[in-house]
Amino acid sequence: MFSRPTRGLLDFSLAVLCLWTAWHHTPAGALVRRGTAWALGRSSTARPLLSYYEGTGGSVVPGFPPGSPAGSLPPLVSLVSRAPPLAQGTFLAFKGLPAEARAPVHALAGELGLAPAALLDEARGPEAARRLLEALAPEFPEEEVRLAALFAGPIPTRYALARVTAEGGAPSLEHLARHWPSGLEAATGAAAQALALATAFGLAWPVPEHTPISSPFGYRLHPVLGTRKLHTGVDLVVREGSEVLAVAEGRVRRASEDAVNGRVLIIDHGRGVTTAYCHNSELLVRPGERVARGALVARSGNTGRSTGPHLHYQLALSSQPVDPLRFRTRSRPPPLAGTAGEP
């Protein structure tokens, strides 16, 4: 059917395709890629594939600025506060700072007559953070610049802001940190954490607030595999075809289908925050599309590895899945045992 040269070219092309598939779509290839990236000191795209096979459902999202100590987020607490999301995120990021890196925040607190102990208190901390941010707002109206001034100090931030403005760059935390003196790496990480946490605290809910939860975040006995695995989201009990809404403005990173997650949608909200919506019956947006907060993005279903109609909702900060209920300071859906679940 084919001449020998043509057949040879076809065989060669198929061999290259097989190698590429093994490199990018198998655990062995992902392990090799991760090892190569580690040896060369580069970032790797193998993590989501390995997470998929490990059953953790990881996804790629932008990390915190280079050099920041943000490999692990500060411990989350159950906050019942009326403080705005930025203040709550700032409070938690400050709690995660080492004692020697808290001097700029303590100095500003002293000017406002705030006791340092208030900044670490779960009841008073978010309100204290709000007052600090309000004090900086007249001089630093942009949110990222304000956080930079809080954690690094106003003087280094003024200098960095002048340099960034002279260069024609955007006054972002990433650009400002490039012009800070050495020794402020912890401040960079804390400001980035505050932004990510604030974004998470400001998220809405993808279904009505009163929707019951059949399976919470955390380790559990897998309903299909029968082994103990981390459940990286919450299962929300909704009928098939129910509306699934975007919890915040963002860009669609993934809208596809696989055997585990079914029809899955991942939205990138920026600042290292992504949300995932799994097991849908229908996806209503495409990769690359920007969506508004509250936009109809999917209809729930029972696709993939699922034991009944429901929505698996997942929140990730800097590629790490976290319990979305830890950020529900307004209301929490009621638990519901013995209903449909998934991995």
> Concatenated DSSP letters for 194-232?
HHHHHHHHT---SS-TT--EEE-SEEEE-TTT-SEEEE-
DSSP strands (E only) in the chain: 213-215, 218-221, 228-231, 234-236, 243-245, 250-258, 262-270, 273-283, 290-291, 296-300, 311-317, 320-322
Q: What is the pLDDT of residue 54?
A: 38
CA 302 to CA 222: how far, in whole Å?
17
**Residue 220: C-alpha distances to residues 24, 59, 276, 331 (Å):** 30, 21, 20, 24
Q: What is the tens place of the pLDDT at every residue in 280-306? A: 999 999 999 999 999 999 999 999 988
Residue 192: pLDDT band by 50, 70, 90 thresholds? very high
- Please tell me the predicted confidence (pLDDT) of residue 31: 59
pLDDT of amino acid 116 = 85
User: How confident is the model over 215-221, as a mean pLDDT?
Assistant: 80
Nearest partner of 234 among 338, 323, 337, judged by Cα: 323
Is-contact 265 340, C-beta < 8 A? no
Going from N- to C-terminal start, the domains of the chain cover 85-201, 213-327
Amino acid letter, 136: L
pLDDT digits (tens, 9 = 90+) for 108-133: 999 989 988 889 998 899 999 999 99
**Residue 286, φ and ψ in degrees, nearest 5:** -120, 160
Q: What is the pTM of this model?
A: 0.73
**Count of helix runs (H) and strand runs (E) in the chain:** 10, 12
- pLDDT-derived band of residue 19, with 50, 70 and 90 as boundaries? low
pLDDT digits (tens, 9 = 90+) for 298-341: 999 999 988 889 999 999 998 899 999 999 865 555 554 444 44
Q: What are phi and psi of 221, to 5 degrees?
A: -80, 120
Position 64 scores a pLDDT of 41
Q: How far apart are CA 287 and CA 298, in angstroms?
A: 13
Quickly name the fold that domain 213-327 has.
Glucose Permease (Domain IIA) (2.70.70)
pLDDT digits (tens, 9 = 90+) for 21-68: 655 555 566 556 666 655 555 544 444 443 433 333 333 223 344 333
